[in-house]
Amino acid sequence: MEGVLKARKKKADWKQGLFLISLLAYPILQFIIFYVIVNAQSILLAFQTLNKDFEWTWSGLSNFQAVWTDFCDSEALLQTSFFNAIRNYLISSVLSYPLTILFAYVVYRGFRGVKAFRIIVMIPSIVSGMIMGLVFKRFVYAMPNMLEKAFGLVIPDLMSDPDTVYGVSLFYSLWTGFAGAMLIYPNTMNGIDKEIIESARLDGCTSLQELWHIVLPMIFPTLTTYLVTGISGFLSNAGPVFLIWNYDAPTPVYNVGYFIFRRIMYDGAVWYGYVAALGLFCTFISIPITFGLKAFLEKVDPTND
Amino acid sequence: MIKQVRERKIETKSVVSAVVLGTIGVIMAVFALSLVVPIVWMLINSLKDDYDYLMNPFGLPSEGYWMWSNYPYAFEALKIKDVWQPHTHKLVTFDYWGMFYNSAVFALGTAFMGVFAQFITAYAVSKYDFPCKKLIYNTAILTMIIPVVGTLGASLQVRKVLGIYDNMLLHILTASGGFGFNFVLLYNALKALSWSYAEAAFMDGAGHYTVMFKIFLPMMFPILFSLFVLSFIGSWNDYSTILTYLPSTPNLAYGVYYFEQSATSKRHTDPQVLAAFVWLAVPTSLLWVIAQKWLLNSLTMGGLKG
């Protein structure tokens, strides 16, 4: 009897094993090829250059030296790109995250008009970020003419004036960047136990107190996810720069994502090694920041209590 | 006396709270309006002639000059001529419907493969115990948070070596992995579902596939459908993947991008370009109208603890 049971268990284990292999074989293989091998190839590329016969040759640390030289040179595009990428992340963290949470809280409370708001906020994703960007570009181009005609106000061309282009690019990123969070945050807030909220309200808790003392602590893990993954994105996102300026972006709007995309797609294979070295350099800089922030946020996470 | 002071304090806090929420409400209204204005502006200006657009970019079209013809013009002119096909060694012209077909195949394929791969990975990791479970979960989280930058060149090289570059079908089959944001989202949702349904089904003789497809898949359907629609819309509007990896199969988004970029040399007017934008946005807007009820209410996200 025991033998039969053992044989049955063994058969069931085999069936389960085969089932799991059938589920995980594709994702694991995909991961090995397009994450592990691509990253390994990128690391190898960082130590190679393309010679004039279009052959890849080992070049030691020359790509890293070139990246470091450009990184230290205030006149080089790379330094501007780094500076802008960091600036974008910090400004969006300080401005965009608090606003997102406040907006999401108002949506969660279900005040009049919030359904329409949630739909409108999705517009950049629905009609395409590309269309939004290109319409925005034409809209901003047309503005000086309109302002001069209507109010006699003379303003520079915001899309080409070096003093305003960065602001335009940042404004666009912030302006169109609420869609994803507006889908996630209000739903996460809806998952909070209604009894906690109701008893707090009965005790005279105001909306702001409710947000600060109940809602924020309860959605803290979601907040952590957005903040931490935001770091991994800030060096790779080209933002709206390619969309608005194509391959001819003015220097003040360059960021690391755009810099890399342009070098690969426009300038070609001769830059592959430099860009791969730059990628490793970025990873080297941002890993301690990412894990430091993750550890800090997990330490202060009120849901741990 | 103390009670009165306390009540006054609560009252003051309530007023402050109401003022802050009211201010946020006003900011939200202005923000929403700012997103609607460019869309209305696009629709109005797509009905002007070039002169009217230049002289009067923020008003309605002049009387008698409502250029409805911009729409058929844009539809006809949305063409990419002489696209080299590396597999058939021919030059092919893609018109609106040709690019629409590419968009549909690309968006449906990418959305289906992406959501399915992430669902089966999340299902296996969240519902079964096996030796590498923790490793797979931690790898999924790590790939989300470790910044990987500058691998575009290597990615192009690997795809060219494997014959995936510029091949729509192979790209769809290989581009979607099991990890990423959706994996975490699905993992958390599956974790919240009780395994007792499966145990009851196993007692009745059901197999692992039956449990996954007939019990958990239907329960997860609202979330999966939302992710599918979002992914579909994202892929429909994705021109940069086509530009980077699939240059010989232009989709509608790429076609509109190309139309905009070549407007000056091909003498398309700005209103005609805006009409082309509308042609691209119509299918996804319709899909959004149909699916928005599910999309707005089914997605939540948890933390990153490994």
Residue B169 burial (10 A CB sphere; 0-12, 13-18, 19+): exposed
Bridge partners (DSSP) of residue A48 are A58
Per the CB < 8 Å rule, is A235 touching B149? yes
Per the CB < 8 Å rule, is A187 touching B209? no
**Range A81-268+279-304: architecture per CATH:** Orthogonal Bundle (1.10)
Distance between terminal CA atoms of chain A?
49
Sign of the Cα pseudo-torsion (A141, A147, A152, A154, in order): negative
pLDDT of residue B46: 94
Per the CB < 8 Å rule, is A26 touching B234? no
CA distance A192 to A219: 8
CA dihedral B175→B178→B183→B186, nearest 10 degrees, is: 110
Neighboring chain B residues of A103 at a CB cutoff of 8 Å: 24, 28
Chain B closest-CA separation from residue A162 CA (Å)? 23
Q: How confident is the model at residue A112 (pLDDT cuts 50, 70, 90)?
A: confident
DSSP string over B48-70: S-HHHHHH-TTSPPPTT---TTH
pLDDT of residue A153: 84
Instruction: Give yes or no for residue B124 having a pLDDT over 90.
Output: yes
Higher pLDDT, A180 or A256: A256
Among A53-67, B6-20, B157-171, B268-282, which stretch is predicted with the lowest mean pLDDT?
A: B6-20
DSSP category for residue B94: E
Sign of the Cα pseudo-torsion (A273, A276, A278, A284, in order): negative
Among A183, A257, A303, the residue with its CB nearest the CB of B299 is A183
Per the CB < 8 Å rule, is A23 touching B124? yes
Per the CB < 8 Å rule, is B42 touching A135? yes
Helices (H), A203-271: 207-210, 216-218, 220-234, 241-245, 256-262
Residues B267-292, mean pLDDT to the nearest whole number = 87
Per the CB < 8 Å rule, is B280 touching A128? yes
Nearest CA in chain B to A207: B17
Beta-carbon contacts of residue B25 (< 8 Å; ≥ 6 apart): A106, A111, A113
Among B16, B150, B305, the residue with its CB nearest the CB of A298 is B305
**Rounded alpha-carbon distances, angstroms, from residue B189 to A154, A304, B224:** 55, 20, 10
pLDDT of residue B299: 63
Instruction: Give yes or no for residue B117 having a pLDDT over 90.
Output: yes
Q: How confident is the model at residue A128 (pLDDT cuts 50, 70, 90)?
A: confident
Nearest CA in chain B to A288: B146
pLDDT of residue B126: 94
> Which of A15, A20, A192, A299 should one mutate to test binding to chain B, selecting the residue with the greatest count of B CBs within 10 A?
A20
Cβ neighbours, 10 Å, residue B199: 11
Residue-wise pLDDT tens digits, A16-75: 999 999 999 999 999 999 999 999 999 999 999 998 888 999 999 999 999 999 999 988
pLDDT of residue B160: 94
pLDDT of residue A305: 63
pLDDT of residue A300: 87
Per the CB < 8 Å rule, is B154 touching A124? no
pLDDT of residue B1: 63
pLDDT of residue A148: 82
Q: How confident is the model at residue A225 (pLDDT cuts 50, 70, 90)?
A: confident
CA distance B40 to B37: 5
pLDDT of residue B59: 85
pLDDT of residue B234: 87
Instruction: Give yes or no for residue B275 having a pLDDT over 70.
Output: yes
Instruction: Give yes or no for residue B69 having a pLDDT over 90.
Output: yes
What are A79's two structure tokens? 């330094």
Nearest CA in chain A to B20: A208
pLDDT of residue A184: 81
3-state class percentages of chain A: helix first, strand second, coil last, to nearest 5: 80, 0, 20
CA distance B276 to A252: 30
DSSP string over A57-124: EE-TTHHHHHHHHHHH-TTSHHHHHHHHHHHHHHHIIIIIHHHHHHHHHHHHHT-TTHHHHHHHHTHH
pLDDT of residue A120: 87
Residue-wise pLDDT tens digits, B183-210: 988 998 899 899 999 999 999 999 999 9
Chain A closest-CA separation from residue B157 CA (Å)? 9
Residue-wise pLDDT tens digits, A137-166: 888 888 888 788 778 888 888 888 888 999
Residues B131-138, mean pLDDT to the nearest whole number = 91
Highest mean pLDDT pick, A76-85, A89-98, A149-158? A76-85
Residues A221-242, mean pLDDT to the nearest whole number = 83
Nearest CA in chain A to B117: A27
Chain A closest-CA separation from residue B87 CA (Å)? 22
> Which of A136, A225, A270 should one mutate to test binding to chain B, selecting the residue with the greatest count of B CBs within 10 A?
A225
DSSP string over A129-146: HHHHHHHHHHHHHHHHHH
Neighboring chain B residues of A245 at a CB cutoff of 8 Å: none
Higher pLDDT, B87 or B172: B172
Instruction: Give yes or no for residue B306 having a pLDDT over 60.
Output: no
C-alpha R_g of chain B: 26
Domain ranges of chain A: 1-39, 81-268+279-304
Per the CB < 8 Å rule, is B174 touching A246? no
Asked whether A63 and A276 are in contact (CB, 8 A), the reply is: yes
Residue-wise pLDDT tens digits, B85-112: 888 889 999 999 999 999 999 999 999 9
pLDDT of residue B301: 62
CA distance A43 to B149: 11
pLDDT of residue A229: 83
Neighboring chain B residues of A190 at a CB cutoff of 8 Å: 297, 300
CA distance B290 to B284: 10
pLDDT of residue A175: 86
Residue-wise pLDDT tens digits, B26-37: 999 999 999 999
Q: Round the average pLDDT of chain A to a whole number and report it.
A: 88
Asked whether B275 and B46 are in contact (CB, 8 A), the reply is: yes
Directed axis angle between helix A272-300 and helix B133-145, to 10°?
110
CA distance B147 to B92: 39
